[in-house]
Amino acid sequence: MSYQVLARKWRPRNFEQLVGQAHVARALVNALDADRLHHAFLFTGTRGVGKTTLARILAKCINCDSGVSSKPCGECSACVEIDTGRFVDLLEVDAASRSKVDETRDLMDNVQFTPARGRYKVYLIDEVHMFSEKSFNALLKTLEEPPPHVKFLLATTDPQKLPITVLSRCLKFNLKRLPAGDIAAHLERILAEEAIEFEASAVKLVARAADGSMRDALSLLDQAIAYGAGTVMEEETRAMLGAVDRSRVIELLDAIAAHDAAGALEVVAAVASDAADYADVLGELVITLHRIAVRQVLPGAADPDPDLAEACARLAEQLSPEDVQLYYEIGLRGRRDLVLVPDPRLGLEMTVLRMLAFTPDVDGATSPVDTRAGHAGVTAAPAGPAAASDRSAAPTAERAEACIDPASMTPRSWRDMVEGLGLSGLASELASNSILVESDARRLKIELDPAHAALNTPGAREALRSALASRLGGPIELDIVLDSPSHETPAAGRARDRTGRRQAAIRAIEADPRVQTLCETFGTRVDPAFVRPVD
């Protein structure tokens, strides 16, 4: 006998065997038991959550030889024929391949004929959203007033594409994505029944990779059994899926929390040797950061993954809430931008380096980490030593004077120029996140960080050009190019200044004898997160 795949062999045959859709099963069971059946049902949900399965169970319930019931016998000829796809009065239609209006009209012309074998003629139309507008029109009248011997069961993954006139004539049931825990429990029962050796950790990997789809989970389980030569073990399953070892994610977060750039890049190298999918690595990183954030806000909350509970609790103590939120945002952006980089590994490394290079300021902004503060191996925002010394040494008046002639303007004087323009709103942000790269008699070229490209609106650009022309005493042309700034932008400079003032304030408070006495008396400490410098 030929092998039958698990997804077909273990398809639920009744409502009791259905996994994870209790809200739909309950409504259908009550309707069947009370003999209050609607003539049209619409099942919606992502792939593999049970839409077609529910429709077939419902078809058995209303055509079982023992009578209409929520518990079909499963043994009569009608039940067996429906299970095997041979029931003449169950017409399964794939709307994607029969979307033409003529085909739909032919289908509706047969509605008037009574069932040949069963109690009801059932039309199961899968992916009904693929029908054309004319096909929906052909279906609409019959759907509104069908003969008493006809039931329509519609299934779709995209209900937004259905006309409201069709939706209003159906009972709509939204099927949920299945939780990974429910999928794993069902897979373990199947493996036990099949007498297949397995590891629970391997089953969890399959359940998580299924992304809420039971059919995908069963297909992956078939693949894992074949890959593992009749067993389902974690190491083989992880290799088959290209899944990241979550202990790597914890190691990565430990290195980031310790500001250990070398250690973080070593973990990335280990991930590369595991042949893990880099998007999955960033996804696991974001998920773990979410768990850490929840634990920080609700320390007593139960962790959905007991295997990581201890590590998440430790990191919740080690990282500040601001750090966690920043890392979460950087991780999301890195995962989104992964398709843009030439090599996905470089995208992962750059995302990690961003986490190491920035730290939240007290007002919620991000600023470059000062490498002199003990963060070895982390590069601060680029600004040459000569440029920094020139900025700090040159008097403000001299630099402002140098800005009067456009031909003499330099990137070093750009910050003073911007702060003296009196801009506000988007124009101010546009200037603050840019640097001057070229200038001549009447033309200025500035670079804008691509991360702030949204600031380059026509209104903001014109306001900046007008302010510069007024400041320089004549009309100018302004060119704005998107490129990573090679010098410190005014916004980054202000953030660096705030960080320096804040660190100085923290040191002053911690060195204050009165504060030290209070800390020793009450066994407390100064929380740097609440220290703000007084200007």
The answer on pLDDT for 74 being more than 80 is yes
The answer on pLDDT for 53 being more than 70 is yes
Strand 171-174 versus strand 197-198 pairing type: unpaired
Homologous superfamily in CATH for domain 6-174: P-loop containing nucleotide triphosphate hydrolases (3.40.50.300)
Backbone phi, psi, residue 476, to 5°? -140, 160
When mean pLDDT is compared across 245-254, 341-350, 354-363, 510-519, the lowest value belongs to 354-363
Question: pLDDT by residue (tens digit) across 11-48?
Answer: 999 999 998 899 999 999 999 998 888 999 999 999 89
Using only the alpha carbons of the chain, give its radius of gyration.
Answer: 33
Answer whether 304's CB lies under 8 Å from 291's CB.
yes
pLDDT for position 268: 92
The whole-angstrom separation of Cα 479 and Cα 209 is: 48
The candidate with the shortest Cα–Cα distance to 260, out of 346, 361, 374, is: 374
3-state secondary structure of 33: helix
The whole-angstrom separation of Cα 325 and Cα 359 is: 10
The answer on pLDDT for 363 being more than 70 is no
pLDDT for position 346: 93
Helix (H) or strand (E) holding 468: helix 458-472
pLDDT for position 289: 94
Question: pLDDT by residue (tens digit) across 267-290?
Answer: 999 888 877 788 889 999 999 999
DSSP for 424-435, please give it.
-HHHHHHHHTEE
CATH architecture entry for 180-241: Orthogonal Bundle (1.10)
Quick one: tokens of 485?
Answer: 């700034």
The whole-angstrom separation of Cα 266 and Cα 259 is: 13
Most confident by average pLDDT, 95-104, 311-320, 400-409, 492-501: 311-320
Domain extents for the chain? 6-174, 180-241, 246-360, 394-535
DSSP for 109-126, please give it.
HTTTSPPSSSSSEEEEEE
pLDDT for position 389: 39
Domain 246-360 fold: Zinc Finger, Delta Prime; domain 3 (1.20.272)
DSSP for 270-309, please give it.
HHHHTT--HHHHHHHHHHHHHHHHHHHH-TTSPPS-HHHH
The candidate with the shortest Cα–Cα distance to 362, out of 121, 193, 528, is: 528
Answer whether 128's CB lies under 8 Å from 162's CB.
yes
pLDDT for position 411: 53
Read off the pLDDT of each residue in 459-475 and give the average, rounded to a whole number: 82
The whole-angstrom separation of Cα 492 and Cα 505 is: 20
The answer on pLDDT for 120 being more than 80 is yes
Answer whether 513's CB lies under 8 Å from 474's CB.
no
Q: Structure pTM?
A: 0.59
DSSP for residue 65: T
Burial of 448 (0-12, 13-18, 19+ CB in 10 A): buried
Answer whether 412's CB lies under 8 Å from 399's CB.
yes
The answer on pLDDT for 478 being more than 50 is yes
Domain 394-535 fold: GMP Synthetase; Chain A, domain 3 (3.30.300)
pLDDT for position 361: 53
Q: pLDDT band at residue 402, thresholds of 50, 70 and 90?
A: very low
Answer whether 42's CB lies under 8 Å from 154's CB.
yes
Backbone phi, psi, residue 217, to 5°? -65, -45
The answer on pLDDT for 1 being more than 70 is no
The answer on pLDDT for 359 being more than 70 is no
pLDDT for position 376: 37
pLDDT for position 154: 94
The mean pLDDT value of the chain amounts to 82
Strand order from edge to edge, sheet including 121-126: 90-94, 121-126, 150-156, 40-44, 171-174
pLDDT for position 360: 60
- In the chain, what is the greatest distance between 2 CA atoms, to the nearest angstrom? 98
The answer on pLDDT for 507 being more than 90 is no
Comparing 67 with 410, which gets the higher pLDDT? 67
pLDDT for position 388: 37
When mean pLDDT is compared across 20-24, 202-206, 210-214, 372-376, the lowest value belongs to 372-376
**CA angle at residue 428 from 424 to 432, to 5 degrees?**
150
The answer on pLDDT for 68 being more than 70 is yes
